[in-house]
């Protein structure tokens, strides 16, 4: 097989893109370095020049895709709806980012790859929680340490919400699960005073109610 030569950074980006697609579709065990090399039009030694092992490539994929979750979390800052609507938006976004065949499905932890990979997933999830804590602090009065605990809890809740909906859950199932979980989240957050004293404390109360 003739390997088309690419600049190092282009080859690495190509391999990451292919690996992201294959890990997302087939899982860790169902993906082979041979198939990644074949799809890239490269030899397996070329793949190993960039990534020492399949595990290292898997971890690199996770690291490269964590920014997608960060962007979704940051987008909550721009959401102008009610606290309940923000919670629903966040849960729907996480579910759609983690359905089967999408890269962030890897963050659901459905497949035990190795202790090292599991540790890296935990670190990346913790970074997401820290970012979410920053959003919480903009809306609610709490200690930074409390916001981190809540951020970690909300990431875990979002993971379980995605599992409850399931990869084949239709719109009705998604609406049902999201509505229930979002109400729980919103009700729980009312235990912390809003940064804006004029903010509506009730997840159900409409703006024109007293």
Inform me whether the pLDDT recorded for 11 exceeds 90: yes
CA distance 134 to 147: 7
Specify if 127 maps to a domain: yes
If pLDDT is split at 50, 70 and 90, which confidence band does 206 have?
Answer: very low
Mean pLDDT of the chain: 85
- Tell me: the pLDDT tens digits for 62-116? 888 787 788 888 888 888 888 899 999 989 888 877 765 555 566 666 666 788 8
Q: For residue 76, what pLDDT is reported?
A: 86
Whichever domain contains 174, its CATH number is: 1.10.357.10
Cα–Cα nearest to 178, from 89, 47, 109 = 89
- Tell me: the pLDDT tens digits for 39-67? 999 999 999 999 999 999 999 988 887 87
Structural domain containing residue 132: 8-189
3-class secondary structure, 207 = coil
Inform me whether the pLDDT recorded for 167 exceeds 60: yes
More confident residue, 172 or 202: 172
Specify if 203 maps to a domain: no
Cα–Cα nearest to 174, from 101, 109, 91, 108 = 91
25-50 CB burial, b ≥16 within 10 A, e <16 = eebbeebebeebbeebebeeebbeeb
* Cα R_g (the chain), whole angstroms: 20
The dihedral built from the CA positions of residue 25, 27, 33 and 34, taken in this order, carries a sign that is negative
CA distance 97 to 69: 8
Specify if 90 maps to a domain: yes
Q: What's the structural domain count of the chain? A: 1
Distances (CA, A) of 169 to 74, 110, 178: 26, 17, 12
If pLDDT is split at 50, 70 and 90, which confidence band does 209 have?
Answer: very low
If pLDDT is split at 50, 70 and 90, which confidence band does 176 have?
Answer: very high
Specify if 172 maps to a domain: yes
Inform me whether the pLDDT recorded for 200 exceeds 60: no
Q: For residue 192, what pLDDT is reported?
A: 95
Residue 184, classified by CB atoms within 10 Å of its CB into exposed (0-12), middle (13-18) or buried (19+), is middle
Specify if 204 maps to a domain: no
Greatest CA separation for the chain: 74
Angle at 190 between CA 194 and CA 81, to 5 degrees: 65
What tokens appear for 86 in the block?
């923000």
Q: For residue 109, what pLDDT is reported?
A: 62
What tokens appear for 96 in the block?
């759609």
Q: Which residue has the tokens 């960039």?
A: 50
Q: For residue 198, what pLDDT is reported?
A: 60
Specify if 210 maps to a domain: no
Q: For residue 207, what pLDDT is reported?
A: 44
Q: For residue 208, what pLDDT is reported?
A: 45
Specify if 206 maps to a domain: no
More confident residue, 168 or 1: 168
Specify if 34 maps to a domain: yes
Helical ranges in the chain per DSSP H: 8-26, 33-40, 44-50, 54-75, 83-98, 115-139, 144-165, 171-189
CA distance 89 to 17: 27
What mean pLDDT comes out for the span 151-168?
Answer: 87
């Amino acid at each position: 097989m003739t390997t088309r030569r690419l600049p190092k950074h282009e080859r690495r980006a190509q391999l990451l893109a292919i690996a992201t697609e294959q890990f997302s579709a087939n899982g860790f065990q169902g993906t082979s370095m041979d198939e990644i090399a074949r799809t890239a039009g490269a030899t397996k030694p070329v793949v190993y020049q960039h990534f020492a092992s399949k595990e290292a490539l898997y971890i690199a994929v996770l690291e490269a895709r964590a920014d997608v979750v960060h962007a979704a979390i940051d987008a909550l800052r721009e959401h102008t709806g009610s606290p309940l609507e923000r919670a629903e938006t966040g849960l729907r976004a996480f579910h759609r980012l983690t359905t089967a065949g999408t890269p962030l499905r890897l963050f659901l932890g459905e497949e035990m790859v190795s202790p090292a990979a599991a540790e890296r997933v935990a670190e990346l999830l913790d970074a997401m929680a820290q970012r979410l804590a920053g959003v919480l602090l903009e809306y609610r009065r709490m200690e930074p340490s409390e916001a981190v605990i809540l951020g970690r809890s909300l990431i875990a809740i979002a993971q379980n919400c995605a599992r409850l909906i399931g990869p084949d859950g239709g719109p009705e199932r998604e609406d049902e699960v999201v509505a229930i979980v979002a109400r729980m989240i919103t009700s729980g957050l009312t235990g912390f005073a809003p940064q804006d004293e004029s903010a509506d404390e009730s997840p159900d109360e409409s703006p024109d109610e007293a």
